Structure 1
């Protein structure tokens, strides 16, 4: 019975480790993502490259259809993922504490049984 809880605790700790690694990797990817924001607005349109009504419409589409959603991903969506990871880590940490309390209780019960058996 105790071995089951020890294995369960190890599994939960491994999940926490994986989530922390995921968070680190995600932070790296977010940095890359933020570094590439300028690419949403390339190429820059000038009177020498492209201008007029179609160029203005293209700029509007690029800003509203590409750049704005890109910023949403870079900000709010990454934040939601970080919050979800933090929530899951907190839940797993609470489970680990509970499992450790169960292990401690079972070990104490086992020690008490041994002490009673020795006294008999």
Structure 2
């Protein structure tokens, strides 16, 4: 029975891991949506030649462009990469869960067959 108990324990643990990964994926999606929604804030306030000009304004605009590139890298490339990693782990866990469920089923059947054999011998 201890093998069956171990399998059931593994199954519970893997299901908990799956739930945490799925929750993390949803949170990541929410964060990415928020990033995308707030992308316009990088350009606020709008700077025009009449509001600000000169060397400092040019330097600020260059920094702002660098910030836009970094913001896009984070909000698209990096978050998509993390999401892809999470999805891969979710897929692997689902496969592992299926294998453990199959093992549990086989072990239960084996135990049932052993019980039948014991009863027929008596």
| Structure 2 unmatched ranges of 5 or more | none
Q: How does 1:3-42 map to 2 (within 5 A)?
A: 3-42=5-44
Aligned to 2:109: 108
How far residue 43 of structure 1 moved from its aligned partner, in angstroms, is 1.8
Q: How many residues align?
A: 119
How far residue 47 of structure 1 moved from its aligned partner, in angstroms, is 2.2
How far residue 57 of structure 1 moved from its aligned partner, in angstroms, is 2.4
TM-score by length of 1: 0.92
Runs of 4+ in 1 over 4 A off after TM superposition: none
Q: How does 1:33-52 map to 2 (within 5 A)?
A: 33-52=35-54
Q: What SS class does the counterpart of residue 34 from structure 1 fall into?
A: helix
Q: How does 1:70-89 map to 2 (within 5 A)?
A: 70-89=71-90
| Structure 1 unmatched ranges of 5 or more | none
Q: Which residue among 52, 57, 68 is the counterpart of 2:59?
A: 57
Q: What SS class does the counterpart of residue 14 from structure 1 fall into?
A: helix
Give the whole-Å Cα distance in 2 for the aligned partners of 1:17 and 1:34: 26
Indicate the RMSD between aligned Cα atoms, in angstroms.
1.2
TM-score by length of 2: 0.91
Aligned to 1:69: 70
Aligned to 1:95: 96
Give the whole-Å Cα distance in 1 for the aligned partners of 2:38 and 2:99: 44
